Amino acid sequence: VQLQASGGGLVQAGGSLRLSCAASGRTLNNYNLGWFRQAPGKEREFVAAIRRSGLGTYYSDRVKGRFTISRDNAENTVYLRMSSLKPEDAAVYYCAADPSLIQSTVRSWTAYRYWGQGTQVTVSS
């Protein structure tokens, strides 16, 4: 499956953005989907995940209550709605997919087999 992330940009602190990740090659219905981010000089960090077949959504404590992950299987797309953005949310955001990860690994970037190319989010203070 090929993933294409988009929707990043420059936003003021307190603002909102919606990231999209469109898939091609395979339907996402049976895939677990995640968003990760990586700021310069820092490790890749888990942001949110949504498991296949309604098995649940997961969020980093740093974004819980501000970000929402959702999926549209008909559009073969996963979204990350980000609100109340802070300067520390600035990073390159990556979407990821895997057909078979288990609950205990949803927060681990090494568990995901397929990755999009990343989209830059910049938050000005």
Model confidence band, residue 29 (pLDDT cutoffs 50, 70, 90): confident
| Distant-in-sequence, close-in-space partners of 35: CB < 8 Å, separation ≥ 6 | 19, 21, 47, 48, 49, 69, 78, 80, 93, 94, 95, 96
The answer to whether 27 touches 33, Cβ cutoff 8 Å, is no
pLDDT, one tens digit per residue, over 42-62 is 999 999 999 987 689 999 999
Q: Three-class SS string for the chain?
A: CEEEEECCEEEECCCCEEEEEEEECCCHHHCEEEEEEECCCCCCEEEEEECHHHCCEEECCCCCCCEEEEEECCCCEEEEEECCCCHHHCEEEEEEEECCCCHHHCCCHHHCCEECCCEEEEEEC
For 53-112, write each residue's pLDDT tens digit: 768 999 999 999 999 999 998 999 999 999 999 999 999 999 999 999 888 999 999 999
**CB neighbour burial string for 42-56, b if at least 16 within 10 angstroms, e if fewer:** eebbbbbbbbbeeee
Q: Given this model, what pLDDT does residue 53 score?
A: 78
Query: What is the Cα–Cα distance from 39 to 43, expressed in whole angstroms?
Result: 7
Is residue 27 very low, low, confident or very high in pLDDT (cuts 50, 70, 90)? Answer: confident
